Amino acid sequence: MIRLATAATALCLVALIVPAAASAMPLPQVAVRAKPPPVNEESPSAAPGEFAWVQNSKLHPHLYNVYAQLGGGARFRVNAAGTQAGLGTGIEGHTLAYTQVRGSQQSIRLFNLQTHGRSGPPAGVNTPNIEDEPSISGNWLLFHRLEDGASPGQQVLLTNLTSGATRVLASVPGGRGFLEAGQVNGNFAVFTQSKTGTTFNVWVYNIAQKTLTVIPNPLGKMHTSAAVNPFGTAYFEQSGAGCGENATVEEYPVGGPMSAAGTLRPGIDLFHPFLFENGPLDSFLFAKIHCQGGGIDIYKTLFS
């Protein structure tokens, strides 16, 4: 399991478990990795006995690398010498998907956490454009593409790692449009979309049925930072337009309804969460942002 920030945090695990239909109480959470600024830790992902994340350092605050741990042991660097890390990681089995930055190029790479071998995804995933925010489950790779050139835009794409076939789940034009690849898990994938830059919604994609469902947002709140379990239950942030403005973590099972799993303190936001099964529980990892000062640390909540 993941090594927590201090031994005392192990005593918090019972209080950390949140019932699926919890009322809007403060979200119980425990630090997985938390260091004082300017060290930032983000883009977590995990599987039983495996943990990966993206981090800078005090000496090089503008340089980010991917790190991993096995069984709570010593961390090791994932990305090759001469490269940096971009947004997003995802673990399936012993395979880690991550974003490699080399100069101005950002692309998806795969890393075997046991052998430390690196490889590329199927042809067509990486292009001269920016590919980032990868997540992996079974034979599926979910990722985000930012296109440049005469017709700029963004896409969220789902590629079959065996056949190489790719599905376009969403696309928006350049300018004010926004897309964020969330997570693929089992038969479901989630992502955030805004076509105008003012209304942000989370969508759930059923891979087998090839159907898209938008999570209801009647109040026009910001719905962002989505993760999903293999049964199609999505977890995401709902907030006002400002950073850390009335932010809550919401739960939406297939067919609804939406319910608040917990609130975040004013001035706290989250992004790039990752959900994996921890026995009968859903382990929800996320990067917590301190809106004033910009510190970013990784925290965890358990959902029943």
> Which domains are assigned to the chain?
7-303 (2.130.10.150)
Residue 28's CB is within 10 A of a number of other CB atoms, namely 19
The upper half-sphere exposure of residue 41, i.e. CA atoms within 13 Å in the direction of its Cβ, equals 20
Strands 259-263 and 248-252: antiparallel
Strands 248-252 and 234-239: antiparallel
Query: CA nearest 256: which of 199, 210, 218?
Result: 218
pTM of the model: 0.92
Strands 17-18 and 296-303: parallel
54: β partners: 42, 66
Cα–Cα distance, 84 to 62 (Å, whole number): 10
What does each of the 304 residues of the chain score in pLDDT, given as a tens digit? Answer: 333 333 333 323 334 555 544 457 999 999 999 999 999 999 999 999 999 999 999 999 999 999 999 998 999 999 999 999 999 999 999 999 999 999 999 999 999 999 999 999 999 999 999 999 999 999 999 999 999 866 689 999 999 999 999 999 999 997 789 999 999 999 999 999 999 999 999 999 999 999 999 999 999 999 999 999 999 999 999 999 999 999 999 999 999 999 999 999 999 999 999 999 888 899 999 999 999 988 999 999 999 8
Cα–Cα distance, 228 to 180 (Å, whole number): 14
Cα–Cα distance, 201 to 145 (Å, whole number): 18
Amino acid at 146: L
